[in-house]
């Protein structure tokens, strides 16, 4: 099995940059490009040469570095077909079910719309890792800006179906605030209580709380838990469709 090295670093106010490398193949990809200078600095630190950018969605805090990095490195930019016109420098447009080789690894593309209308996620089964942009966060999920609740719930369900041990890299460090909100939705969830404490400790020492895993999110992320009887009872929505319960939690988070 070819190795995949992963280097995550904070950038902008609360974004993550992520670089992945298949050393044997000489391939280095940046997951999104929040900030050209920060990505270039991370590349220099690692001693890596950029060959690809994998764009999850068109927002400026995910594509702002595309053109400068492409100018410096002549890298190839992949991105979502449904919003290709809004992704600077895009070379290859991708959509659900597409797969491509990145060095020795197959990358599978999942449509995960809702935060934006064309948002995609990248899953690399051979490395047990997925890059989900602003769709799923640790103990949270992205704001539903261009889609609707039903659409976002459908996207989250796709990610929930990945193997539990899949490492999940997200676009932002929002975990501590997410945990505080989650405890108002499911305060009796002991796994969540425990995780919230661990997150406080990590943040107090300046550590990143990402990556997470699908398994951990299924246990502690209220947005993925509309089936929880405790949540249904608290929201007064017992027996309602999962996407509506998800939508109510999302609305409450927007107001929090």
Structure tokens at 34: 């929040």
Any catalytic annotation for residue 58?
A: no
Catalytic option among 57, 58, 105, 149: 57
Helices 190-204 and 175-185 cross at an angle (nearest 10°) of: 160
Which one, 134 or 173, has the nearer CB to Fe ion?
134
Distance from C-alpha of 48 to C-alpha of 29, rounded to nearest angstrom:
10
Exactly one of 58, 105, 115, 119 is catalytic; which is it? 115
Q: Which of Fe ion, Zn ion, none has residue 86 at its interface (CB below 5 to 8 Å by kind)?
A: none
Q: 62 catalytic, yes or no?
A: yes
Q: With beta carbons less than 8 A apart as the criterion, state whether 172 and 136 touch.
A: no
Contact between 35 and Fe ion (CB under 5 A)?
A: no
User: Within 10 Å of residue 221's Cβ, how many Cβ atoms?
Assistant: 28
Residue 61 engages Fe ion in binding (rule: CB under 5 A): yes
**Shortest Cβ distance from residue 39 to Fe ion (Å)?**
15
Task: Confirm whether 7 is a catalytic residue.
Answer: no
172 is catalytic: yes
Known catalytic membership, residue 149: no
Please count the other Cβ atoms lying within 10 Å of the Cβ belonging to residue 183. 16
Site for Fe ion in 91-150 (CB under 5 A): 134
Q: How far apart are CA 38 and CA 12, in angstroms?
A: 8
Distance of alpha carbon 178 from alpha carbon 138, whole angstroms: 8
Cα–Cα distance measured from residue 134 to residue 153, given in angstroms and rounded to the nearest whole number: 13
- Minimum gap (Å) between residue 192 Cβ and Fe ion: 24
Structure tokens at 64: 């702002």
Which of these is catalytic: 58, 59, 105, 119?
Answer: 59
Least distance (Å) from Zn ion to the CB of residue 22? 27
Name the residues that contact Zn ion, by CB under 5 A: 59, 134
In the complex, the residues that contact Fe ion under the rule CB under 5 A are 61, 134, 171
- For the annotated catalytic residues, the residue numbers are 57, 59, 61-62, 115, 134, 172
């Amino acid at each position: 099995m070819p190795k995949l090295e992963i280097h995550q670093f904070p950038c902008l106010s609360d974004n993550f940059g992520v670089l992945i490398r298949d050393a044997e193949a000489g391939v280095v990809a940046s997951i999104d490009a929040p900030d050209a200078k920060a990505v270039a600095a991370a590349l220099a630190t690692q001693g890596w040469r950029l060959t690809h950018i994998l764009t999850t969605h068109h927002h400026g805090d995910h594509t702002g570095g595309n053109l400068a990095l492409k100018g410096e490195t002549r890298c190839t930019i992949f991105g979502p077909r449904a919003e290709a016109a809004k992704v600077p420098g895009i070379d290859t447009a991708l959509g659900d079910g597409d797969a491509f080789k990145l060095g020795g690894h197959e990358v599978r593309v999942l449509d995960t719309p809702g935060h934006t209308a064309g948002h995609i996620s990248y899953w690399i089964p051979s490395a047990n890792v997925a890059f989900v942009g602003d769709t799923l966060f640790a103990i949270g999920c992205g704001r539903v800006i261009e889609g609707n609740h039903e659409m976002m719930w459908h996207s989250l369900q796709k990610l929930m179906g990945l193997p539990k041990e899949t490492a999940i890299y997200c676009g932002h460090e929002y975990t501590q605030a997410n945990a505080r909100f989650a405890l108002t939705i499911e305060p009796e969830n002991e796994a969540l209580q425990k995780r919230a404490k661990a997150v406080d400790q990590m943040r107090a020492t300046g550590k990143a709380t990402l990556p997470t895993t699908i398994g951990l999110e299924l246990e502690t992320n209220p947005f993925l838990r509309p089936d929880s009887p405790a949540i249904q009872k608290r929201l007064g929505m017992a027996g309602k469709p999962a996407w509506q319960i998800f939508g109510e939690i999302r609305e409450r988070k927007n107001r929090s």
